[in-house]
Amino acid sequence: MNEVQQVQQVRQGRQGQYVIRAVRGDEWEKVRDLRIAALEDPAAPVAFLETVEQARSHPDEFWQGRARGASHGRAARQFVAEGPDGRWDGSVTVLVEEGGTTDFFDRPVERTQGHVVGVFVRTEQRGTGLTEALFAAALDWAWGLEEPAVERVRLFVHEDNARAGAFYRRYGFEASGTVVPVPGSAATDAKELEYVLRRPAGA
- In the chain, what is the straight-line distance between the N-terminal and C-terminal CA atoms, in Å? 12
pLDDT band at 186 (very low <50, low <70, confident <90, very high): low
pLDDT at 203 over 80: no
Q: What is the mean pLDDT of residues 134-149?
A: 94
Pairing of strands 113-121, 9-13: unpaired
- What pLDDT, on the 0 to 100 scale, is given for residue 4? 35
- What pLDDT, on the 0 to 100 scale, is given for residue 5? 39
Q: Residue 168, SS3? A: helix
pLDDT at 185 over 70: no
- pLDDT tens for 32-52 read 999 999 999 999 999 999 999
The reported pTM is 0.90
- What pLDDT, on the 0 to 100 scale, is given for residue 13? 56
Question: Interior CA angle at 95 toward 140 and 202, to 5°?
Answer: 30
- pLDDT tens for 2-31 read 443 344 466 665 556 899 999 999 999 999
